[in-house]
Amino acid sequence: MRLLTRQFIDLFNQVSAENPLAKLTLGLILAAMWILPAAGAVLKRWHFHQRRDALTLDAMESGLGGCLFNPLFYFCLNLVISSAVLASLGDFFFGRRGMDSAAIFIPSIFAILFLTIVQTYLIYRYFSPPKKPQNGTSCARLRARPSAISVSSST
């Protein structure tokens, strides 16, 4: 952990020294922090609900609560992350003069706002069960015991 911490401190020192490669690296790290949660929520939604349905959870474990599951809190956090992405990658791709131009900056802000709204929706849709079964398999069949499936398939 100390090695990773030391590398991040060196990365921030290089960004402070105006190293363009370090700025790109930091921007890509921030972009990954912004994109990967939504990608994981979309890709793992079915598996999450299959596991959740297979387990017997009491009401306390299956309910969502607390301030960390508040969509407004998550939305605001993602706006901060997306602003950092825009500040680092926008400067890298468009240059300082391009980011000072209203023709690039204002549409970028609205695009970031729209993409953050979509991302927040995708993340919180992860917690709601899907309405249709995946690839034509029924949820009852997925929850059935393996012995019940083998008996029905042998007849």
Give the separation between CA 144 and CA 127, rounded to whole angstroms: 22
Stated pTM of the model: 0.61
pLDDT at position 110: 93
% the chain with pLDDT above 70: 66
The answer, yes or no, to whether residue 127 has pLDDT greater than 80, is: no
Cα separation, 97 vs 75, in Å, equals 29
